Structure 1
């Protein structure tokens, strides 16, 4: 079952389900860390490829928006 994520917060909730709490105080670093964690979760078969792709798209868009500022 693929969870319908729409925001970076939704991705954080996904990560929290696996005990991964992310807060560094630097949003760019947080997003990059979340991307790394998602990759590891995919490689460990903890999440489906569709869920991974959806989460990565959300985080990449958020990261792009932050870098534009």
Structure 2
């Protein structure tokens, strides 16, 4: 597992599909779901740790430079 996409694919294997509409919120929800899976013993500690590092990095990047949020707001006049 190396990317945010890989984490989304992992979550899909457990029946969790994430698309809230704001990328930052999607990342935060993915982190909560990873926590839940780890607490339930459904993923091992290495997978959990790797996912949390990737999600933290993605969250930081999105806060610095939002990918689609600003573009979408400009298109809808918000």
Q: Same fold (TM over 0.5)?
A: yes
Number of residues paired by the alignment? 65
After superposition, what is the alpha-carbon deviation per residue over 1:10-46, rounded to whole angstroms, capped at 9, x for unaligned? Answer: 0000000000000111000000000000001000000
Which entry has the higher C-alpha Rg, 1 or 2? 2
Superposition RMSD in Å: 0.5
Q: Structure 1 segments of 4 or more deviating over 3 A?
A: none
Tell which has more relative contact order, 1 or 2 (C-alpha 8 A, sep 6+): 1
Extract unaligned runs of 5+ from structure 2. Answer: 66-78
- Unaligned 5+ segments in structure 1 are none
Structural mapping, 1:1-69, within 5 Å: 5-69=1-65
